[in-house]
Structure 1
């Protein structure tokens, strides 16, 4: 008992010390800005005046997720703060779907010329561009609240992906130096994304496009530039003109959910030969049959299933979430083709902590499964690994984490 109280006391003192160290960590942050970031920014052509203006009054933002303060070890958070990696049914809520569709139809008429021009130039359908625009910023109507230099500075100094965010911070300074953004427009999401298409700064530098012919790429105020930039981004990431993003399907029990994933592709004709059919009852388009398709079951056997094309994974280059890419494809179809909800409903799934899923992932890794990393996120590699583990134990494969299999795996 004495040892127990000593342990509790030490933990309390450690937490208290960390809280008291915030001023010291803040000083380290200010020193890091000058000693590490300024030389890199100067090498990219950023002036001292621009640099000083960017960091005037900037302090650490301790409310951001995935922070790793100096002297601490990274750990998997319990809760998932990013909607794209949460419960599927919650992500596809009625308000989000209906709002993005309704306003998207209005925008399709209002910006028909810009959408048509971008589609001709890039091969990316206007409905897909609209759906991304709607998801990212509510078609430019959602307030973007954060100071990009504070966000990227904090995450570059102390996060699980520090080098990535440090590079994005340098890119944001380059944007400021070049005067691309209107005055006081360097506001971002909590991840550092900018403007109506929510481009990370490096994406702006690489993919922002002029859509209205004024020789500027203004993703803050210009709808035409926003449309052109989204289309250019997808085209540069490999969008295949003439192919769809995917199809909702029925997967027979005889077809294992462990066949999911972009590394297990086969001609769509082969999926059809296995008994996979479109929920609409219509055949797969003839021109899609020889093309490669991939089984995608974002909730395992607890929700809709899809055969997707390479374009689905181009959408994932915009945001590395299956649910995000699925939302974009689905809303785009609702805008253009007036389709209804998915035929198969999202089933109820257990509420689990990320830390519990990460523990189960580590157990699967120890058995030789490739789960894509023990990050607490049930991506396709984790889903199918669970399914393979279930099949090896002669259980019905569901390919999704629940309280039962997490407990059995030691999560």
Structure 2
């Protein structure tokens, strides 16, 4: 395909209806692989033979989420595919939590030496490593179905985060060039994550570790390497050894839920002085009182509340969802300490369309609130903005989007 033909396609593609002219889009993809991706890969040391073996028969996967054909306009999807951003109660369904913890205790015994070695080297507790491993791949038992090159090729070419996925595709080619993956192991999630720790390719290149001493970092077949790699990732993202991830708390009614967020931290002793207490009458550990803590209310006033430490946000570096980080911390505690469910239950919240939440976010932005972007995801900036908006209206802040708010905040 000539460059002139490509230019014409760029003009025409915005007018193409979804599902039409996919043959032309596929031709454009082939040209993009040759003219754009190959020079980038070659500059990173990828050989032509490796490139052709990986992408010579590449096809687009039109079933992946968040796709935007070249020239088309991106929009916030109506539905939300990722469970990390759905209903909190569903994310913490008992069988998922209990199963991850029960198998985690078995794995703790089976891999005690590898876990202890990783903790000595990084300061990251074994229970946290186990909880991530369990959540990401069911301790290596979950089928990872997709062809990694097809996924990342598609998303690099036509997704809402094309630049990011292009970098990850080049990193995947570097992995292939170096021969890191066993034969047939280049499978991924729908987002392109690899192996038992579900590392993106760039994370593999930066953080994969050799835990069994065989000179390789094999996150596909080696449990010891998987453990060492997860611990290394967290340590390199500034895990603070000796500190916990957080504590479930009771927040008095006179303490606003709008105080949530990592930019509103204060010593845990100060939170305690405001009347925030641990559930069950437990005291905060003495060594934690002088450390900084942050209020975290993932469902606003409709669910459990927490005072979390900087380590909670290290867990969010692994997956940017509050619920994910909370799941990992909670399951880790259940693995190590046999803890039960949260003291507070999850209210009937969540389940809104992302497009509905994005509409509310735009309404809040119009009123001068910083919601962190109208992406349809109810992060802490959106939650506390709702609380501040409610307070301005003379309402009791609850700090979570509800369907009945659409009329006041929608377009």
Interval of TM-score (by shorter of Structure 1 and Structure 2): over 0.9
Structure 2 counterpart of 1:88: 88
Partner Cα separation in structure 1 for residue 231 and residue 89 of structure 2: 28
The DSSP-based 3-state class of the residue aligned with 1:118 is helix
Structure 2 counterpart of 1:53: 53
Question: 2:257–2:399: 8 Å Cα contact kept in structure 1?
Answer: yes
Partner Cα separation in structure 2 for residue 71 and residue 211 of structure 1: 45
Partner Cα separation in structure 2 for residue 211 and residue 265 of structure 1: 36
Structure 2 counterpart of 1:175: 175
Structure 2 counterpart of 1:248: 248
The DSSP-based 3-state class of the residue aligned with 1:295 is strand
1:58 deviates by 1.7
Question: 1:294–1:309: 8 Å Cα contact kept in structure 2?
Answer: yes
Q: CA RMSD in A?
A: 1.1
Deviates more, 1:115-124 or 1:349-358: 349-358
Partner Cα separation in structure 2 for residue 351 and residue 318 of structure 1: 24
Partner Cα separation in structure 2 for residue 41 and residue 135 of structure 1: 32
Runs ≥4 residues deviating over 2 A: 14-20
Structure 2 counterpart of 1:234: 234
Residue 347 to residue 35, structure 1, CA distance change in 2 (3 Å)? same
Deviates more, 1:49-58 or 1:32-41: 49-58
The DSSP-based 3-state class of the residue aligned with 1:248 is strand
Aligned pairs, how many?
398
Question: 1:350–1:403: 8 Å Cα contact kept in structure 2?
Answer: no
The DSSP-based 3-state class of the residue aligned with 1:247 is strand
The DSSP-based 3-state class of the residue aligned with 1:19 is coil
Q: Deviations over 1:83-114 (max 9, x none)?
A: 00111001001121011011100000000000
Superposed, which structure 2 residues align to 1:112-261 within 5 Å? 112-261=112-261
1:22 deviates by 1.0
Partner Cα separation in structure 2 for residue 78 and residue 308 of structure 1: 31
1:350 deviates by 5.3
Partner Cα separation in structure 2 for residue 205 and residue 305 of structure 1: 36
1:279 deviates by 0.3
Deviates more, 1:68-77 or 1:254-263: 68-77
1:130 deviates by 0.1
Q: Deviations over 1:279-334 (max 9, x none)?
A: 02111000000000000000000000000000000000000000000000000000
Q: Deviations over 1:329-386 (max 9, x none)?
A: 0000000000000000001115311111101101111111000000000000000000
The DSSP-based 3-state class of the residue aligned with 2:220 is coil
TM-score w.r.t. the length of structure 2 is 0.95
State whether structure 2 residue 63 is matched by structure 1 residue 74.
no
1:72 deviates by 1.3
Question: 1:297–1:304: 8 Å Cα contact kept in structure 2?
Answer: yes
Partner Cα separation in structure 2 for residue 348 and residue 17 of structure 1: 38
1:121 deviates by 0.6
Deviates more, 1:304-313 or 1:53-62: 53-62
Question: 1:137–1:198: 8 Å Cα contact kept in structure 2?
Answer: yes
Q: Deviations over 1:154-210 (max 9, x none)?
A: 111011110000000000000000000000100000000000000000000000000
1:19 deviates by 2.4
Question: 1:269–1:290: 8 Å Cα contact kept in structure 2?
Answer: yes
Partner Cα separation in structure 1 for residue 112 and residue 26 of structure 2: 49
Partner Cα separation in structure 1 for residue 42 and residue 20 of structure 2: 34
Partner Cα separation in structure 2 for residue 133 and residue 340 of structure 1: 20
Partner Cα separation in structure 2 for residue 292 and residue 279 of structure 1: 19
Superposed, which structure 2 residues align to 1:273-312 within 5 Å? 273-312=273-312
1:16 deviates by 7.4
Partner Cα separation in structure 2 for residue 224 and residue 37 of structure 1: 34
Partner Cα separation in structure 1 for residue 315 and residue 406 of structure 2: 30
Structure 2 counterpart of 1:391: 391
Question: 2:152–2:166: 8 Å Cα contact kept in structure 1?
Answer: yes
1:406 deviates by 2.3
Uncovered stretches (5+) of structure 1, i.e. residues with no partner: 1-13
The DSSP-based 3-state class of the residue aligned with 1:165 is helix
TM-score w.r.t. the length of structure 1 is 0.95
